[in-house]
Structure 1
Amino acid sequence: MQNGLPFVQFLLTIAGAFAAALGLALWAYETGPEEGLTSNRHRLGENWRILSQTPWGDIIPCMTGWLVIKSNDLIRSVFQEADQGIGFGGVIFIVLFILIPIAAALNAFIGGSTFLFWYYLSLLAVLAFLNVSGETGRLRFLNGLAAVYLGGSIFVVIPVYVLLSFTDVTINSFFTHSVLKSLLVAVFWYVAAYGVGLLIDIWFRSRGIDPTRSATARFINQFLAALPVAYVLTFMALLAGHLGVLEQSPMRSWRLVLASTGLTAISLPTTLFILALGAKNKSLLPIWYFLAFIAVLGFSVLVALFTYAGTNQSLNQIEFVNVLMGLSPSGMTVFFGPQFWILHLPFFPLMVFIFAIFSGFMVKGIIRGAVSFSGVATFDQPYLVSAFACAGWAIVLWMAALLL
């Protein structure tokens, strides 16, 4: 029986090759023409300059604070403020007003469920009503209800209904098809999450609270933004277990999808919240990292309970620890099966922080070494520094693959 170790070695080898290829690309950027790269080069060079001037003992809080800020900015731009982009409106229009209506009509005509087809017809009827009564003051209350019906349907009801339908199909179809479909279904997870986030923002504003400044609203939006990614990661984890131990059809259920997706998603805002507090107190930062580890470990335990309890794959405390350590439930042999990958998904955000910290130490060491060797600062060649860092990670990953 396959234990999954060769597959892990393969993943490490591929990751090392990707790091090496990225390093070559960055080296080509550095030695190539500067047109279109000047601003990026200056920005990256400034980041490396700050990192090189940071004392070794402050690298961890420096990288932690930087990654918290960048994560918050990224989530805000791709989720909370996504409607400010030109492409977002086009994608939403195509999905909600072209693709889904066509699919609903085809599904109804071939004998499938007619709910969505008639629901879209009701939206057309309400839209026609608003066009006629929009300027009539006596129907202001009905117009308001119609507007709420339209908005709630477009951004919440329809995406959630489609999400539930497609997720159910994904769970019950062939496994390889499920993995491929998960990438498409993630789009509906995003639209549904965005709609829910929009309603939550409206609720906060109705209470006189700016959602962009509220820690609670930020936590909720970070959780919602992570849902589509967590959904895809769930199926990627099942695929890793499938390929690693050659399990023909890993267990899939609504319990698994909801538990893994939800708890993996909530691990992101939890990790960001805890480490943001830790970045403000450098002396206690290791304790905050430990608290973040305990939190995501708790999420992993909950995934095991909600997903596998009462099934033939249920785990007791010792078996859970064994699986988490990369062993079979009995602890007799190495085993990287689907359970191993699923239970480690809540650790993903914390692992990104740890990776960033090691990268910070590596980049600082490269800069200091270059300065000591040549006596010239490397801030004017930031892509070259990044290329050396990628080469360093390639060596680390390849060495890990050889040692396993």
Structure 2
Amino acid sequence: MKSKKSTIPFVFLLLLVVLCLFFPSIPINVGGESSYDAADVAWMLTSTALVLIMTPGLAFFYGGMVKKKNVISTMLQSFICMCLIAVVWVIFGFSLVFGESLYGVIGNPATYFMFNGVIGGPNWSGAPTIPFALFAMYQLKFAIITPALITGAFAERIRFTSYILFVCLFFIFIYAPLAHATWHPEGLLANMGVLDFAGGTVVHMSAGVTAFVSAIFLKRGNSNGHDPARVTYVLIGMGLLWFGWFGFNAGSAFGANDLAASALATTTTASAAAALAWIFFDAARGKKPTAMGVSIGVVVGLVAITPAAGFVTVPHSLIIGVVTSIICNLLVEWRTTRSNVDDTLDVFPSHGVGGMIGMILTGVFATKTINPDIDTNGLFFGETTLFWAQVIGLIGAVAYTFIVAFILLKITNTISKLRVSPEEEEVGLDISQHGEKL
């Protein structure tokens, strides 16, 4: 199948070159005096690389789950986010998230336009011992993987060019506002007291809810049944995700310190407990333990502990992993057997619901003994302020994401049709969208 010629990619590249020529990012104080800590810098460089490897891990994780004729397309949807979001981030994306706050809901896009003032710039208040540019690059990796997570919901039935447009809109109107509101010191949710250590709201809930809306909007796939192309790919992907997640969570301490070690410990235990709970719960209902079950269980545990990793104890992380695993297992079964929503790879039950449970249980188990920087303990310790902040923040984030995601899908579909034709779906997206095959 031949694709139609388009001048849009050429115009985009030409515009990018012009921007780079006329808005060069001039380094500030490079090599000058700083308050950097060598150990913190080394750990955050490592964490940045660890978080980046999660996106190729996700590509394998999702790629192994789809039909053989859609493996390349599904994997490429993850990889293209590494390219697309990196460019958007440098131009204005970082400013939208961490630029001068506009009413606590979004950053001023001009603050660090074309990365101006980032290289050698003043240290970020939440990460005072590492270069500002390193902080910016670390945060970029979160922005990369979030839209990639959504792809599992509409795997095997979305046009690649339309997907690229939707990813850009998702980043600007959903990811950036939620990240700013949650992680910027003047953000709306941050000022409400909402805690999200490494992305329960910002990453997993935003992706999961958007995935749910996308699955409804694109309707069911035309083929019945679903045989994974390569379960071994799923295992490889799970391993890479698990490996990279230590940078995701422990790196969010922004230093080589006790908090990073605590987050690493809770991440390990929650994911392990969730995997065991998944297969044990299956066994209790007469099912065989499967590689897919273990892999999904690990990821569900990782998702749930993400918002809580730097706030809860290790024993409580075990509870978070087990509770989330059982609830998500039931939801995956319900979605498969009783629902008409074709969330192909169960992004919403795993990431959306997993992130929600993690946010709520953060409000239950967070404690100052682990992180003295928080203002109040969780519900388990007899205090209610944090718990209700988590609940209200969750409801607001879900409602906002649901509404805006639907609008963005409508806009994208008006500009460029989202759903592939029945013929393209039948032949497979590897051939119809990319002219390649496994």
- State the TM-score, normalizing by the size of structure 1: 0.30
Choose between structure 1 and 2: higher helix proportion: 1
Higher Rg: 1
Q: Which structure's relative contact order is higher, taking Cα pairs within 8 Å and 6+ residues apart?
A: 1
